């Protein structure tokens, strides 16, 4: 199957799992949902593993708040 998918023979199930989580994070899927899909016991476990993929979280939060305050003025 790896050859058919044109994947390196060293590609493992864990790599596929990591890719799945990474793609969902990059599309903005809620971390709670990703954590559940991965079967992690806590969101903290997911964040510890994948937070490096979300460096713009603070900027996103600031932008969201700015939008809220602009609307209410």
The 10s digit of each residue's pLDDT in 21-36 is: 999 988 889 999 999 9
What are the structure tokens assigned to 16, written together? 């596929």
User: How many CB atoms neighbour CB 21 within 10 A?
Assistant: 21
Positions in the chain short of pLDDT 70: 2, 71-73
What is the pTM for the complete model shown? 0.66
What are the structure tokens assigned to 60, written together? 């996103």
pLDDT at 45: 95
Q: Please, what's the b/e burial string for 31-57 (b: 16 or more CB within 10 A of its CB; e: otherwise)?
A: beebbeebebeeeeebbeebeeeeeee
pLDDT at 39: 95
pLDDT at 71: 65
pLDDT at 3: 78
């Amino acid at each position: 199957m790896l050859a058919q998918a044109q994947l390196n023979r060293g590609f493992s199930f864990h790599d596929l799992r990591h890719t799945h989580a990474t793609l969902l994070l990059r599309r903005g899927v809620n971390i709670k949902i990703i954590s559940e899909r991965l079967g992690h016991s806590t969101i903290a476990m997911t964040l510890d593993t994948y937070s490096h993929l979300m460096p713009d979280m603070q900027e996103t939060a600031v932008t969201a708040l700015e939008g809220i305050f602009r609307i209410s003025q």
